[in-house]
């Protein structure tokens, strides 16, 4: 990767906020009870519980683990997860759900990464039939892997649908901050219709910190054991908690996400007039998906870092981060125009 | 936990080295390829490969995960792990091996936490019998959970025994630094007869960093996939690599372990003359196990933090760390004497 | 279920061949070594090896278990199975692959239940990428769950494709006899391009007997352990072997399948002229899928047993068996006509 | 195996009762609903429910599967099973519990294969500690693998202990008939303090038939799905049900077990006076464990089939079956005497 130019590859190409690093240094004082029994973990978890109106919050190391732990709270061995074909837990976790939990995914193609009752319905056949894995969890991402967001109404409708169908709703919030920034709502609004969700820190300026936020009291008691068994119990957890402490201070999480989203919009607007470049999905977080000719993709990739999302269809993903500058975006937009 | 007095509870009650925090801050500059494709990860892994004479090294978040990943490189589904009854992977990992890998543990009582060919032999019955899980991996810890160390000769004998029996040898090195400090040997000496081992950073002054060190070329190719599937692939891996970078610089790992071990010896020597206190195992790393009356235990625990190892037998564990001072030890020794 | 009329529900609604029952009785003489070390098991397995030109054959109790065992011979933990969306192992095994093996299924919609290189290709993205479960096994069924058969050329093409792509080919042969009868080929022809397959007895007149047929020497050694661990090692295996002995005697398997197929063709021909009844797939084994109005379906089901395959689209499955008679078919055809 | 002489190897060396074979033939008439929805399955399950006073009964193919299914009804992922070191599920199932369920076994050495509250107690440490797999199920066998039986009082005590400790009690009844015969009690008496048990048919004259008997209503609903997922749902289940039908008719199960037990006692009494032969455990079912010199063992094994239980200690197992005759026993006793 060239280090001369800002990467548009992913929000995890960035480093961390200075405040996150400072918070890590600040908790490095003397002894602390390990495994989360320290004051910083208590404080950060309490703050998360407060902003989400949650029953309990637990820290883990990465997003895949957060998804696996969160989903594991809601499944019996023969139950299945309905998720989008583009979902991280289906595509990008090397089969962790199947391996660690042993549960089946029922995968649904979607136009924009978002599930709807109409898309979920056909996957609910065979309920009560012992030959079929039984659908139990609907797993969505907010923002989705395609950069789109569910509206609050869509979330409410999904929640209502799930309740009416005896399903539980899980939300992968690796980029929940970006969704909150886009929708201009509270985190609690995003969690209101959900049973368990994750709240990502790493993609928003932490070094390695994700939270599993449990909205239902009756799902809390198993978490400590499952987290440990799933190899996600950090001994010096104060250092993870400190990262969330920094993100929660003066809503650094929100300011960072607002900035990243603004940069993505600036990018999208900048290329709107570029001939031969077609934006694929509504830009509702910090990602822009665009289609353009492969020669142009290749030319751009010689100078800029980003991923090809779909080689066959010539779709690329351009992603901004908390530390992407307007100048970075403008330079990249100019390069896109120049690639024509 | 009282913060007035140094904890003798565990080496993970300590914070991190200042050098570790500084190293984390130092790598926080600009973008980097994620998932370990950055220069710092390459450098730290290369250094580990060099000091261990290893085929490859991989970073994970914690010790349980390192054990599970390391052992997973050597097992078919119907194979089993022979380990000590006191081993971390049997006692302290909430059944992660059984859950994540699905393999059986064949547990061996030991006098001092150490396996020997004589102890392993009786667990090798039924080889070739389809009704029996087939022993394949012998898992040892160095230092052991009881603070003891295998001598280099004992390691060589175990390695030879395993090879002769068609077994592979795994070493849990969460406290490998302490063993190297005790034995006065190189890390490569400790790995010489082993197939896969772990090298712990967290208990020796990192915030959350462990390495899986693979000694055999033919076990390397699966690791990236298994690490990801086992939920241990960090996206911003430079921050994990940086911690090992700090530990490897001027052998900080060794100096820290030497100090912790010296403090444990000072403690052991200090209480040697205390009536009614019986040291349980040779003090060969940074832990002292002692038996004393429950009233004294209770009295001490009102002022000092440490764990009761075996309530029935009145055995406690006192553990030192890189940041335990002579004054800490002397004050605690005085308290032990005073508790009589 | 009415017992007055022959069921068209499934070939497992039938009982067993008289010869199968007689064979079970015939081996019930005195003692025998258990767990397959008896002469009848040896003989039946040898015969299967001979007719399939196989490395080894193993008996299990049912088709789900045969699929799971067969597939388990070819997968590392992070590898995946490409299969048709209509496949039994995806739809009808309650997630056994995911639960027992922990591997991911990569599901492909097909027009007729059959995979082709063109359909498989798009599921092979992300090879070598640690974030993706790695495709390794292509699993097909012969006959398929939709009653269709791969031609020998199609099998050869699939085998060649798999070899060229570093994939292995698994064949679910729960109804392999019907395919052989349809194609007029030897069983060995059907296995020629396959790595591991199953050969079903139950749906063709046994009471409970399936075989896992391993074509490659290097996949044999693990089978006994995996079969036991997967809970499919019968102690009095002579009674399972006897069922295959009966099926292999004078090619009872072939005669039975030829008859069942002929009955399905008779049924298809009988309804070809029925207005409002549309046959869905080529009738190439012992199943006829047809679409008709729901009122007619309901009317027919009041007197006859069969399954609704797709309620939304009004598709039903009519299945024949070794013991379906021409009179059964003719009566049912008349009922279909009369339902208009 | 010599077929000239009756095997004393195991009760699964025998064939099946003539009544069992006849029952299989008798249900082979016309069509039946598959997967247990037939009248014979209903009738046999109802009879089992009645004799056990059970909530529900389910048929599976073999004993390992019955144990795995039964135990799976009572465990969350991080919970563990306390069992005897000699238990079938620890020793003889190739790690099926760990593989299929992913749960840990906590193994207890016993003098005679029987667990007691005093033996279980020390395995209950660490409850509530997230680092420890949490003991939940106590698994016993009746009769045990060492041929011993729990008295009704011992069962009541275990049940009371489990309830008081928040544990559930599972009973492996592969040889439950032999225990009932020895104790002279009803099957319901043996199940009275148990949550889930198995009832074996195979070792008592069936060809392949085991039942999982669920005593608690709240554990029933998951069974159909778990049985299917665990690959134990037979399609033509009437043939399994028929075997239990035969065993239940005029208490064939009891008469068979009484006979087998009587033969074991005859054997034990016959060798009581043999010099150099030491019976190891009370003979309370159909097995006799004896120690004798290895030369005698070798000499006997040239003519007779039986297993060496513990080569180091020179212990052998001699097992009788429903079809062992007095003449068989007397000839074998004479051989033992002659081997001196």
- Report whether pLDDT(B2) > 50: no
What are the residues whose beta carbons fall under 8 Å from the beta carbon of A221, sequence distance 6 or more? none
Q: What is the pLDDT of residues B210-220, one digit of tens each?
A: 999 999 999 99
Q: Which portions of chain A are predicted below pLDDT 70?
A: 1-4
Cβ proximity of C65 and D100 under 8 Å: no
Instruction: Report the pLDDT value the prediction gives residue C2, as an integer from 0 to 100.
Output: 43
**DSSP 8-state symbol, D235:** T
Residue of C nearest to D9 (CA): C33
Q: Do A78 and D130 touch (CB under 8 A)?
A: no
Which chains does chain A touch, 3 or more C-beta pairs < 8 A? B, C, D
Instruction: Report the pLDDT value the prediction gives residue C340, as an integer from 0 to 100.
Output: 83
Of C95, C107, C312, the CB nearest to A133: C95
Of C91, C102, C122, the CB nearest to A99: C102
Q: What is the pLDDT of residues B138-165, one digit of tens each?
A: 999 999 999 999 999 999 999 999 999 9
- Report whether pLDDT(D1) > 70: no
Q: What is the pLDDT of residues D279-338, one digit of tens each?
A: 999 999 999 999 999 999 999 999 999 999 998 899 999 999 999 999 999 999 999 999
CA angle, residues C326, C327, C332, in degrees to nearest 5? 100
CA-to-CA distance for D205 and D214, rounded, in angstroms?
23
- Report whether pLDDT(C123) > 80: yes
Query: In terms of DSSP H, where are the helices of C121-170?
Result: 152-164
Of D95, D122, D132, the CB nearest to B94: D132
Q: Is A230 an 8 Å CB contact of chain D?
A: no
Q: Is D8 an 8 Å CB contact of chain C?
A: no
- Report whether pLDDT(C1) > 70: no
Interface of C with D in 32-51 (CB under 8 A): 32-34, 37
Cβ proximity of C59 and C263 under 8 Å: no
The predicted complex's ipTM stands at 0.97
- Report whether pLDDT(B308) > 50: yes
CA distance C136 to chain A (A): 13
What proportion of chain D, given as a percentage, has pLDDT over 70? Answer: 99
Q: Is D93 an 8 Å CB contact of chain B?
A: yes
- Report whether pLDDT(D3) > 60: no
- Report whether pLDDT(C235) > 90: yes
Choosing among C58, C74, C78, which should be mutated to test the B contact, i.e. which has the most B CBs within 10 A? C78
Q: Is C225 an 8 Å CB contact of chain D?
A: yes
Q: What is the pLDDT of residues D168-193, one digit of tens each?
A: 999 999 999 999 999 999 999 999 99
Q: Do D225 and A102 touch (CB under 8 A)?
A: no
Which of A271, A189, A183, A218 shows the shortest CA–CA distance to A73? A218
Q: Which residues of A touch D68 (CB under 8 A)?
A: none
CA-to-CA distance for A60 and A101, rounded, in angstroms?
17
Q: Which residues of D touch A233 (CB under 8 A)?
A: 130-131
What are the residues whose beta carbons fall under 8 Å from the beta carbon of C320, sequence distance 6 or more? C8, C11, C260, C261, C263, C264, C267, C286, C287, C329
Q: Is C98 an 8 Å CB contact of chain B?
A: no
| Sheet containing A287-291, strands listed edge to edge, beginning at the edge strand earlier in sequence | A278-279, A287-291, A315-319, A307-310
Instruction: Report the pLDDT value the prediction gives residue D327, as an integer from 0 to 100.
Output: 97
Which chains does chain B touch, 3 or more C-beta pairs < 8 A? A, C, D
Q: Do B305 and A93 touch (CB under 8 A)?
A: no
Cβ proximity of D213 and D182 under 8 Å: no
Q: Do A77 and C92 touch (CB under 8 A)?
A: no
Cβ proximity of B234 and A62 under 8 Å: yes
Of A31, A34, A61, the CB nearest to B61: A61
Q: How far is CA C69 from CA B135, C29, D257, in A?
A: 21, 30, 34
Instruction: Report the pLDDT value the prediction gives residue D47, as an integer from 0 to 100.
Output: 98
Q: Do C102 and A98 touch (CB under 8 A)?
A: yes
Q: Do D224 and A102 touch (CB under 8 A)?
A: no
CA-to-CA distance for D150 and D141, rounded, in angstroms?
9
Q: Do D25 and C25 touch (CB under 8 A)?
A: yes
Q: φ, ψ for residue B217 (rounded to 5)? A: -55, -35
Q: Which residues of A touch D78 (CB under 8 A)?
A: 222, 225-226, 228-229
Residue of D nearest to A221 (CA): D128
Q: Is D163 an 8 Å CB contact of chain C?
A: no
Instruction: Report the pLDDT value the prediction gives residue C326, as an integer from 0 to 100.
Output: 98
CA angle, residues D82, B101, C73, in degrees to nearest 5? 115
Instruction: Report the pLDDT value the prediction gives residue D273, as an integer from 0 to 100.
Output: 92
What proportion of chain B, given as a percentage, has pLDDT over 90? Answer: 98
Interface B–C counts its CB contacts (< 8 A) at: 44
Instruction: Report the pLDDT value the prediction gives residue A337, as an integer from 0 to 100.
Output: 97
Instruction: Report the pLDDT value the prediction gives residue B340, as an integer from 0 to 100.
Output: 83
Q: Mean pLDDT over all residues of chain D?
A: 97
CA-to-CA distance for D175 and C233, rounded, in angstroms?
18
- Report whether pLDDT(B3) > 60: no
3-state SS, B30-51, equals CCCCCCCCCHHHHHHHHHHHHH
Cβ proximity of D105 and D90 under 8 Å: yes
Instruction: Report the pLDDT value the prediction gives residue B318, as an integer from 0 to 100.
Output: 98
Q: Do A133 and C77 touch (CB under 8 A)?
A: no
Query: In terms of DSSP H, where are the helices of chain A?
Result: 18-26, 39-52, 63-72, 88-91, 96, 117-120, 152-165, 176-183, 187-191, 223-229, 238-248, 252-272, 294-301, 326-338
CA-to-CA distance for C228 and D96, rounded, in angstroms?
8
- Return the beta strands (E) in D201-295 as ranges: 210-214, 278-279, 287-291
Work out the average pLDDT over D246-250. 98
| Sheet containing B210-214, strands listed edge to edge, beginning at the edge strand earlier in sequence | B56-60, B210-214, B196-200, B168-172, B134-141, B79-84, B104-108
Instruction: Report the pLDDT value the prediction gives residue D340, as an integer from 0 to 100.
Output: 83
Q: Is A94 an 8 Å CB contact of chain C?
A: yes
Q: Which residues is A134 bridged to in the sheet? A: A79
| Structure tokens that stand for D325 in this block | 């005759």
| Sheet containing C278-279, strands listed edge to edge, beginning at the edge strand earlier in sequence | C278-279, C287-291, C315-319, C307-310
């Amino acid at each position: 990767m060239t280090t001369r130019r800002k990467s548009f590859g992913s929000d995890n190409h960035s480093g961390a906020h200075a405040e996150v690093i400072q918070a890590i240094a600040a908790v490095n004082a003397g002894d602390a009870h390990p495994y989360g029994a320290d004051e910083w973990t208590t404080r950060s978890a309490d703050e998360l519980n407060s902003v989400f109106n949650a029953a309990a919050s637990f820290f883990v190391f990465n997003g895949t683990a957060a998804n696996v732990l969160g989903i594991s709270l809601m499944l019996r061995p023969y139950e299945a997860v309905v998720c989008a074909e583009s979902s991280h837990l289906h595509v990008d976790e090397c089969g962790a759900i199947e391996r660690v939990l042993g549960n089946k995914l029922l995968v649904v193609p979607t136009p924009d990464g978002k599930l709807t009752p109409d898309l979920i319905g056909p996957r609910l056949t065979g309920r009560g039939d012992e030959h079929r894995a039984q659908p139990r969890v609907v797993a969505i991402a907010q923002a989705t892997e395609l950069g789109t967001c569910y509206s609050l109404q869509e979330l409410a409708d999904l929640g209502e649908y799930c309740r009416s169908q005896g399903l539980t709703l899980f939300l992968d919030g690796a980029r929940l901050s970006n969704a909150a920034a886009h929708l201009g709502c509270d985190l609690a609004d995003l969690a209101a219709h959900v049973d368990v969700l994750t709240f990502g820190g790493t993609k928003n300026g932490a070094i390695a910190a994700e939270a599993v936020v449990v909205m239902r009291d009756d799902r809390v008691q198993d978490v400590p054991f499952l987290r440990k068994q799933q190899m996600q119990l950090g001994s010096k957890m104060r250092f993870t908690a400190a990262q969330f402490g920094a993100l929660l201070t003066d809503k650094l999480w929100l300011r960072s996400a607002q900035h990243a989203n603004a940069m993505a919009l600036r990018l999208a607007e900048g290329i709107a007039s570029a001939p031969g470049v077609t934006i694929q999905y509504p830009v509702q977080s910090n990602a822009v998906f665009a289609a353009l000719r492969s020669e142009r993709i290749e030319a751009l990739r010689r100078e800029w870092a980003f991923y090809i999302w779909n080689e066959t269809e010539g779709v690329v993903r351009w992603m901004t981060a908390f530390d992407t500058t307007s100048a970075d975006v403008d330079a990249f937009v100019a390069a896109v125009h120049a690639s024509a």
